[in-house]
Amino acid sequence: MRFSKTCKTLDDTKKLAQAFAQTVTEGCFVSLYGEIGAGKTAFVKLAADALEVKEKVTSPSFVILNEYHSGKIPVYHFDLYRLENEGVSTILDELREYSEGQQLTFVEWAEFSQDEIPFDHLKINVTYSDDDARIYEFEGVGEKSKKIVERLKNLLTE
């Protein structure tokens, strides 16, 4: 199950993140892909806003994990950039725990994980098109995430 959306401006990305927030109320594990400055953290911030997270959402590049508990569901935000090629496989079991239950977990730089993520997750690939335009591609891997992508697609193509 795949769905992709072109966002010509940051405001379009905000609308996409708002629709996304409506589809993940049961929780979801999201791995974000895309080059530096593509718009991974921007999407996490906008989704957290849509879930009414009160704290300021910042990039967790230096702490690996930020967590927010003031919104509708808990939001966890990992940035694995600093782990580079080693380390990711050693925290896969920990990451798996964040994929369970009613919580929303984002992982930036999931491509550092050499192996495929071995549990249900939703991939978001962000690419530049031009200027402020970005393409967000969603792919559900596993039953739960496939349903989320389907709901998102229905919500945005009505």
Ligand X SMILES: Nc1ncnc2c1ncn2[C@@H]1O[C@H](COP(=O)(O)OP(=O)(O)OP(=O)(O)O)[C@@H](O)[C@H]1O
Which chain residues interact with Mg ion by CB under 5 A?
A: 40-41, 59
Listed ranges 37-45, 49-57, 93-101, 145-153: which one lies at the site for ligand X (CB under 6 A): 37-45
38 binds ligand X (CB under 6 A): yes
Q: Answer for the pair 68, 75: CB distance below 8 angstroms, yes or no.
A: yes
Q: Answer for the pair 54, 71: CB distance below 8 angstroms, yes or no.
A: yes
Q: Which is nearer to ligand X, 7 or 53 (CB)?
A: 7
Task: State which of positions 105-134 bind ligand X (CB under 6 A).
Answer: 108, 132, 134
| Cβ contacts of 136 within 8 Å, gap of 6 or more | 4, 5, 7, 13, 16, 39, 43, 124, 125, 126
Site residues, ligand X (CB under 6 A): 7, 9-10, 12-13, 34, 36-42, 59, 108, 132, 134
